[in-house]
Amino acid sequence: MKHTEVEVTIALAAEHGLSAEEYGKICAILGRTPSFTELGVFSVMWSEHCSYKNSIAVLKTLPREGAALLTSAGEENAGLVDIGDNLAVAFKIESHNHPSAVEPYQGAATGVGGIHRDIFTMGARPVASLNSLRFGSPKDPRVRYLVDGVVRGIGDYGNSFGVPTVGGEIYFEEGYTGNPLVNAMSVGIVEHHKTVSATALGKGNPVLIVGSSTGRDGIHGATFASEDLSEASEDKRPSVQVGDPFAEKLLLEATLEAIATGYVVGLQDMGAAGITSSTSEMSARGIEKTGSGGIEIDLDLVPIREAGMSAYEIMLSESQERMLIVAKKGFEGKIIEVYEKWDVLAVTIGRVTDDNHLRVLHHGAVVVEIPAESLVLGGGAPVYIREAIEKKPETPVAKLADDNTLDFSAITLELLSRPNIASKQWVYRQYDSMVQTNTVTPTGHTDSAVIRIKGTKKGLAMKTDCNARYVYLNPLAGGKIAVAECARNIACSGAKPLAITNCLNFGNPLKPEVYFQFKESVRGMGEACRAFNTPVTGGNVSFYNETFIGGLRTAIYPTPTIGMIGLLEDIDNLVGSTFTNAGDLILLAGNPELTLDGSEYLVMQYGTPGQDSPSVDLEHETNLQRFLVSLAEQKLVHSAHDISDGGLFVALAEKGIMNAERPLGFIVNLEDTESSPLRIQQQLFSEAQGRVLLSINPDKIREVAVAAAEHNIPLQAIGTVVERAASLSINGREIVSFTIDELAEAYYHALEHALHLDELL
User: Of 372, 351, 348, nearest to 300 (Cα)?
Assistant: 348
d(CA 360, CA 214): 16
d(CA 579, CA 587): 12
pLDDT, position 66: 84
User: Of 91, 723, 207, 131, nearest to 427 (Cα)?
Assistant: 131
Q: What is the DSSP string of 25-76?
A: HHHHHHTSPPPHHHHHHHHHHTSHHHH-TTTHHHHTTS----TTBSS-TTSS
User: Of 385, 242, 374, nearest to 306 (Cα)?
Assistant: 242
User: Of 649, 634, 712, nearest to 680 (Cα)?
Assistant: 649
d(CA 696, CA 716): 12
CATH architecture of 1-64+197-383: Alpha-Beta Complex (3.90)
d(CA 477, CA 468): 11
- Per CATH, 1-64+197-383 and 65-195+431-574 having the same topology is answered no
The CB density around residue 240, as the number of other CB atoms within 10 Å, is 25
- The answer to whether residue 49 is catalytic is yes
Q: For residue 609, which phi and psi values (nearest 5 degrees)?
A: -80, -5
Task: Identify the active-site residue in 16, 96, 445, 711.
Answer: 96
Using DSSP's 3-state secondary structure scheme, residue 511 falls into: coil
- The answer to whether residue 96 is catalytic is yes
Using DSSP's 3-state secondary structure scheme, residue 201 falls into: coil
d(CA 737, CA 283): 66
pLDDT, position 4: 45
CATH of domain 65-195+431-574: 3.30.1330.10
pLDDT, position 557: 96
Q: Divide the 761 residues of the chain into consecutive groups of 10 and give the mean pLDDT of each group.
A: 63 93 96 95 93 95 88 78 95 94 94 94 96 96 96 96 96 94 97 94 98 85 52 54 91 97 95 91 95 97 94 93 97 98 98 98 97 93 96 90 89 97 96 93 94 95 98 98 98 98 96 98 98 94 85 89 97 97 97 94 96 97 98 98 98 95 95 90 97 98 98 98 95 96 96 81 46
| Domain boundaries along the sequence of the chain | 1-64+197-383, 65-195+431-574, 395-422+575-761
pLDDT, position 5: 55
Task: Identify the active-site residue in 49, 98, 620, 641.
Answer: 49
* Inter-residue contact 545 to 484 (CB < 8 Å): no
What's the start-to-end Cα distance of the chain, in Å?
A: 57
d(CA 38, CA 299): 14
The β-bridge relationship of strands 295-298 and 357-362 is: parallel
Q: Computed over its alpha carbons, how large is the radius of gyration of the chain? A: 26
CATH architecture of 395-422+575-761: Alpha-Beta Complex (3.90)
d(CA 358, CA 363): 17
CA dihedral 321, 327, 331, 332 (to 10 degrees): 40
> Which residues, including other chains, have CB under 8 Å from residue 225's CB and lie 6 or more apart?
47, 48, 49, 95, 97, 98, 99, 272, 542, 544
User: Of 283, 381, 484, 375, nearest to 57 (Cα)?
Assistant: 381
d(CA 472, CA 495): 30
Q: How far is CA 440 from CA 130, 151, 573, 655, in A?
A: 15, 23, 12, 18
